[in-house]
């Protein structure tokens, strides 16, 4: 078992509060990812769960047991850091088994658990090599292997792929996903990379300024953001947001045609959001909005268009790579009703 519960957890550094009363439930076996901009508190929160940072207020429970004041070694959690922190003079085999050796495990137990970690992580051919003879991805697998052999109740990953190049990040993402499926152990993973969050997580926790902005599955956050921050943080390119006035089932964009919607029934000035891939190119006469194409980014399967739409602002559009649009062209944009999002003056979703 490896369920984790945070109850009104706070962290203060002197007079500065960096974690501001977080409540969170993580079920046994879940892959939960903390994501947010730099300085939002995600790594601090992870270190508090690990016991590497004291908890100023609140409680941390592991399988119902209060571990708030327990030392890291007493929490039955293993942490994998951004830096590999491998011993350069030791072989892969010795690095993976070092924690068990210092804990006084027998040689037969160490050999058995190291062999199993090597099998799971496909490290067999590298067991006698030193860290300097390994690639970045292989070193990270060794660091993960060192965590696996302890058979913890949960794994804590602190931006483990940020030191790898793009190709290796993709490879290691797949390996971590397979590892989670194989072990079925609770994992908490910190990243600033939303692609990692969207592809790996059972549940994503979006943080900003020490507060939880939304918790949900990747699909929940993408399709039903609860506020403007989540709407624009999740998704690349980010969601387009423009001012508009809503009156009943109609909306008006400044100096644009506007249109109908199926979402809210109010009379107010709000913000309208729509994701780039949901916008359709149309004839200007039937468009909800028109503008001039300022930038065309051809990416093969997709094209990103950046369209200047006057008072509505610059709107990004994602279309198929076969679409023929040129810089300087005037185009019409249609906003399908079912894909519209509306946010009030406080940035909260109107539903």
Q: How confident is the model at residue 150 (pLDDT cuts 50, 70, 90)?
A: confident
CATH code for the domain of 51: 3.40.50.300
CATH code for the domain of 267: 2.40.50.140
Number of folded domains that form the chain: 2
Q: Is residue 172 scored above 70 in pLDDT? A: yes
66 and 165 fall within a common domain? yes
Alpha carbon 261 to its chain centroid, in Å, reads 30
Average pLDDT in the 316-320 region?
Answer: 96
Spatial distance between the Cα atoms of 190 and 34, rounded to a whole number of angstroms: 5
Q: What percent of the chain has pLDDT over 70?
A: 100
Range(s) of the domain holding residue 323: 238-343
350 domain residue, yes or no: no
How much is the pLDDT for 334?
A: 96
201 and 300 fall within a common domain? no
For residues 120 and 148, is the Cβ–Cβ distance under 8 A? yes
292 domain residue, yes or no: yes
Q: How confident is the model at residue 319 (pLDDT cuts 50, 70, 90)?
A: very high
Task: Pick the last residue of a domain from 189, 210, 232.
Answer: 232
Spatial distance between the Cα atoms of 19 and 40, rounded to a whole number of angstroms: 9
61-81: per-residue pLDDT in tens? 999 999 999 999 899 999 888
Task: Pick the last residue of a domain from 207, 232, 257.
Answer: 232
- Strand 186-191, strand 31-35: pairing: parallel
Q: Is residue 1 scored above 70 in pLDDT? A: no
173 domain residue, yes or no: yes
DSSP letter at 336 equals -
């Amino acid at each position: 078992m490896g369920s984790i519960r945070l109850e009104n957890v706070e962290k203060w550094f002197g007079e500065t509060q960096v974690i501001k009363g977080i409540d969170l439930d993580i079920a046994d076996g879940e892959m939960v990812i903390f994501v947010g901009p730099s300085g939002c508190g995600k790594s601090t929160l992870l270190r508090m769960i690990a016991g590497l940072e004291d908890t100023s207020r609140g409680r941390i429970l592991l399988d119902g047991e209060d571990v708030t004041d327990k030392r890291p070694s007493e929490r039955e959690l293993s942490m994998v850091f951004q830096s590999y922190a491998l011993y350069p003079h030791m072989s892969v085999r010795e690095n993976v088994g070092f924690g068990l050796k210092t804990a006084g495990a027998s040689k037969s137990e160490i050999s058995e658990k190291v062999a199993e970690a090597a099998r799971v992580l496909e490290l067999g051919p590298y067991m006698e090599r030193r860290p300097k003879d390994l690639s970045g991805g292989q070193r990270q697998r060794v660091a993960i292997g060192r965590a696996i052999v302890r058979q913890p109740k949960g794994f804590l990953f602190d931006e483990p792929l940020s030191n790898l190049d793009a190709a290796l990040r993709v490879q290691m993402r797949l390996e971590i996903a397979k590892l989670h499926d194989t072990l079925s152990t609770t994992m908490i993973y910190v990243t600033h990379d939303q692609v990692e969050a969207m592809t790996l997580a059972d549940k994503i926790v979006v943080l900003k300024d020490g507060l939880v902005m939304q918790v949900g599955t990747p699909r929940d956050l993408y399709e039903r953001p609860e506020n403007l921050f989540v709407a624009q943080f999740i998704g690349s390119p980010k969601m387009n947001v423009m001012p508009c006035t809503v009156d009943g089932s109609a909306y008006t964009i400044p100096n644009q045609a506007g249109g109908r919607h199926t979402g809210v029934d109010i009379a107010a000035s709000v913000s309208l959001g729509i994701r780039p891939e949901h916008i359709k190119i149309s004839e200007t006469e039937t468009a909800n909005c028109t503008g001039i194409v300022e930038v065309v980014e051809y990416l093969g399967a997709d094209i990103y268009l950046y369209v200047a739409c006057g008072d509505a602002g610059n709107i990004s559009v994602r279309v198929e790579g076969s679409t023929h649009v040129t810089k300087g062209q005037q185009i019409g944009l249609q906003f399908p009703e079912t894909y519209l999002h509306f946010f009030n003056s406080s940035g909260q979703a109107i539903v």
